[in-house]
Structure 1
Amino acid sequence: MGQRLRVLDVGMGQGTQALRLARAGHSVTGLESNHAMLAAARASLETEPEGIRERVRLIEGDGRDTGVHFLPGSFDVVLCHGVLMYVEEPDPMLAGLARMLAPGGLLSLLVRNADALAMRPGLAGDFGAALTAFDTATYTNRLGLTVRADRLGALRATLAGIAAPLHAWYGVRVFTDNVGNDVELPAEELERVLTLEDRAGRTDPYRGVAALLHLCGVRG
């Protein structure tokens, strides 16, 4: 097994990502502010073998208050996936997350791409909404909530300013953003889709119009 990492999963939801990392041998702390989500994560954790359960710690708390719960430099990896769109002022939160990283630690962000908000409605044939999307950084998500998106250039500057400069970035859901979560594909076709998305997410200009951006900053 490779290096065992100390991972903080901010806004972990039902704990799917945290449990996968624990199964891979890492020590994972999950931080979640939604009580129902936290209860679901705890229920899932209870079904795991003892060796996995002992590698996971679940805490009810907000990603903006990491300094209340943890000491600076406590983690090798901090994950913040699908969270920033719900935070009106993300920069202070990101600075707090960066402080949680040990030297050389990785800050992993998954955000909605504000530079590609016209793609989803445009490809769905809602051309009026696509035109409107050019002039805004907010959108209505699949839960019906109006939330915000982020721009690569602004996040690049923020990461540089908090001593976790951008190391790499990828596009996520380039061709599949309008595919429903409940769509099932035959194994062979699913493999093609995953290969396609992986390649497009690493290749210009395709990654720039992805629905989501995955950014990796490394603490100096």
Structure 2
Amino acid sequence: MGRQIEEQIAGRFPVGQRLRVLDAGTGDGVQALRLARAGHHVTALEQDPGALEGVRASLAAEPDGIRERVRLVEGDGRDTGAHFLPGSFDVVLCHGLLSGARDPDAHLAGLARVLAPGGLLSLVVRNTGAAAMRPGLAGDWHGVLAAFEAPEGERGARSGLDALTASLAGIGAPLQEWYGVGVFTDASDGAAPQVPAQGGADTARRRELLLSAEERAGRTDPYRTVAGLLHLCGVRGG
């Protein structure tokens, strides 16, 4: 997803602009650190104090200039009004937070509130429309049948592509582009595809080929429709 974020940023902001970024549900802070190293000012929002401590420990190993560009805040997407002014961020990331949220619409509304006009909203959610694919690829036929038989609420209907497209339009940040993440490999919420290690001297080359295949499939129908995760990018109007 790092390449996709870079592509969207490059396509919407002047080259070299130092952006104000909110990483909601930052988790281990990998994406936040990546953007800070690129020169952007990043606020990492996380409700788990233990996760924030982990990010703080990672930051301690970074140069002063990068540490100064990262701010850590305890909270979640619904709390943005308590921490930030409207329109405070040029880019808002929400990678994995919505899939487990009890009220995803409240999170989306909170994130939209702090997104500046013309700003980029990046969401990563489970692909509930292809819930049977992951267990099927693993040969877990009980899991396949359970995915088909699960009630609509348990499948997380609000994180489906159609529902989120409607939600993005409703908060004034209509969908501009979407990708599949983890077409050929396993993917967990908000994380990059887990590429299996290969032995031998060609390990790096094999990994690069697999990542390139993932990148291509994640942009191409019908392959992206069966990915483990969906990556949606909306742009705030006005």
TM over 0.5: yes
What is the one-letter code of the residue matched to 1:26? H
Q: How does 1:36-47 map to 2 (within 5 A)?
A: 36-47=50-61
Q: Match of 1:151?
A: 160
Q: How many residues align?
A: 213
Q: Tell whether 2:32 aligns with 1:18.
A: yes
What is the DSSP-based 3-state SS (H/G/I as helix, E as strand, rest coil) of the residue aligned with 1:25?
A: coil
CA RMSD of aligned residues (A): 1.9
Residue 27 in structure 1 maps to residue 29 in structure 2: no
Q: Following the alignment from structure 2 to structure 1, what is the Cα–Cα distance between the partners of residues 149 and 167? A: 22
Tell me the secondary structure at the aligned position of residue 232 of structure 2: strand
96 and 197 in structure 1: CA distance in 2 versus 1, 3 angstrom threshold: same
Which of 45, 65, 89 in structure 2 is aligned with 1:75? 89
Q: Report how far residue 181 of structure 1 moved.
A: 4.3
2:76 equivalent to 1:62: yes
Alignment of 1:157-176 (within 5 A): 157-176=166-185
Whether the 8 Å CA contact 2:187–2:229 is kept in 1: the answer is: no
SS state of the match for residue 178, structure 2? Answer: strand
In the alignment, which residue of structure 2 is the partner of 1:144?
A: none
Matching residue of 2:215: 198
Residues 64-213 of structure 1 correspond to what in structure 2 (within 5 A)? Answer: 64-136=78-150, 138=154, 150-177=159-186, 181=194, 183-185=196-198, 186-213=203-230
Amino acid at match of 2:212: T
Paired position in structure 1 for 2:233? 216
Gaps of 5+ in 2: 1-14
Going by fraction, where is helix more abundant, 1 or 2? 2
Tell me how far apart the structure 1 counterparts of residues 43 and 166 of structure 2 sit (CA, whole Å). Answer: 28
- Which residue of the partner structure matches residue 142 of structure 1? none
CA distance in 2, matches of 1:75, 1:107: 10
State the alpha-carbon separation in 2 of the partners of residues 215 and 178 from structure 1. Answer: 16
Tell whether the 8 Å contact from 1:22 to 1:56 is kept in structure 2 after alignment.
yes
Identity %: 65
Counterpart amino acid of residue 175 in structure 2:
L
Larger strand percent: 1
Q: Which runs of 5+ in 1 are unaligned?
A: 140-146
